[in-house]
Amino acid sequence: MSNAKRSFIRSISVLVGGTAAGQAITALAMPALSRLYQPADFGTLAVFMGIVTTVSVAACLRYDIAIAVPESDEDGLALLALSLISATLISLLSALAIAVGFDYLAEWLDAEHLHAGKWLIPVGIFSAAAWSALQNWHIRKHNFPLMARARISQALAMVSTQSASALASFGPVGLVAGPPVGFVVSGAWFLKRALEDLLDWLKRGQITDLRRVAREFRRFPAYSTWEALFNQAAIHLPIILIAASTTVAEAGYLMLAMYVLQAPLGLLGSAIGQVYLSRAPQAHREGNLAEFTNEVLRNLVKAGTGPILAIGVLSPVLFPLVFGADWERAGWLVAWMTPWFLLQFLASPISMALHVVGAQRAAMGLQFFSLSIRLGMTWIATTWMDGLVAEVYAVSGAIVYGSYFIAIKSHLAGYRASSKNSSSI
């Protein structure tokens, strides 16, 4: 086995260990939380996270995704600074939007419980966006042990907040407060290690590089920002639509079902994806990105197919036993979602290849297709298939990620062919 392959496997092992510990903390707490809170409370959390995640993923204007790409650390630090500046501005704008128009949104969603936690929305947006930027700096620096520890602290902070709030009878606002607290605590780990690099960069007077780097990586805000918005909107806007057109509890069932399926994704898929992103730029420069991607894909198939299929088969039986009788509906939704999450598990980690090769426009087009299909199918279901809205949403996920996987493989095949032609000239 080559040194590079051993290093790749070792990096994945470290991240998987930290992610597994974080997932275990959350998983152990979930049966208690599902009894301390009602499905409608989880529906409120689903709406909150839909807003926060959709905005925060674009709040850095996707300069955060570019941090791992340039050869020099100086340019990586400039991208980190641009990300944090943008996250601050977008969070302030979101606070202004909440002050002006939040009442209309809460009335449309019939989610009065969200009112008490509305000022957590800009906090959640900033903490999630800054966390992403700082994490990508540590991905660049291959600080995987730090990332593992941060994942554990994030899970502990989130679960502790949600559990203590339930025991103190704070209501759904305590459930909503958990994710922002988790981002703040784990982000503090990232910031502590990155602060020295940032301060040293500022002392060297390289802040003047911001304009050059922003211009050089302008394709990320121009295309990848829209790609990220379309991606998250495709996931969360249908859930918000379901909450508004059916019941908030139905959104809660969807959220728990998605959490259970995301556990193996978070355990392996995100870890492999982050290590992939840390090494893909070098593989691209060496001309073997397609081969490297295929190797990662083989590992994904071996690692994730069995657990995801098992969860899908067993969930209708196990959900009422583990989470309580009120959650049987969520168990059946897991079965419907299994094809979607299996295809997502395979496609998402390698999707960063499109950014590495500069295909941000293609990635944006794919995500717009995703948003159109998922929101369109869900809207049709709310109009003509009232009893099967969540099931139609699950089917739309499988269609989207199947198409996305095929598109990524086709693009990489074209990239490989063009690389060979260039090398033969």
Q: Name the amino acid, one letter, at 341.
A: F
Which of 149-153, 317-321, 402-406, 414-418: highest mean pLDDT? 317-321
Sign of torsion over alpha carbons 268, 251, 369, 225:
negative
The confidence score (pLDDT) of residue 425 equals 38
**Tokens standing for residue 398:** 């499988």
Whether 17 has a pLDDT exceeding 80, the answer reads no
Residue 151 in 3-state DSSP? helix
Question: For 335-352, how does the pLDDT look when each residue is reduced to its tens digit (9 = 90+)?
Answer: 999 999 888 888 887 777
**Tokens standing for residue 413:** 């095949």
Confidence of residue 416 (pLDDT cuts 50, 70, 90): low
The confidence score (pLDDT) of residue 3 equals 62
Confidence of residue 395 (pLDDT cuts 50, 70, 90): very high
Question: For 266-285, how does the pLDDT look when each residue is reduced to its tens digit (9 = 90+)?
Answer: 666 666 777 777 778 878 78
Q: Percent of the chain having pLDDT more than 90? A: 27
The confidence score (pLDDT) of residue 72 equals 85
The confidence score (pLDDT) of residue 130 equals 94
Of 132 and 356, which is predicted with more confidence?
132
The confidence score (pLDDT) of residue 422 equals 44
Question: For 31-46, how does the pLDDT look when each residue is reduced to its tens digit (9 = 90+)?
Answer: 999 999 988 888 888 8
The confidence score (pLDDT) of residue 200 equals 84
The confidence score (pLDDT) of residue 12 equals 64
What residue ranges in 175-223 does DSSP mark as E strands? none
Question: For 222-275, how does the pLDDT look when each residue is reduced to its tens digit (9 = 90+)?
Answer: 888 887 888 888 888 898 888 888 888 888 999 889 888 876 666 666 667 777
Sort 397 into a burial class: Cβ within 10 Å, 0-12 / 13-18 / 19+.
buried
The confidence score (pLDDT) of residue 379 equals 92
Q: Which run of H or of E encompasses 404?
A: helix 389-424
Sort 425 into a burial class: Cβ within 10 Å, 0-12 / 13-18 / 19+.
exposed
Q: Tell me the pTM.
A: 0.77
**Tokens standing for residue 172:** 């759904």
Question: For 173-232, how does the pLDDT look when each residue is reduced to its tens digit (9 = 90+)?
Answer: 889 999 999 999 999 988 888 888 888 888 777 777 788 888 888 888 888 888 788 888
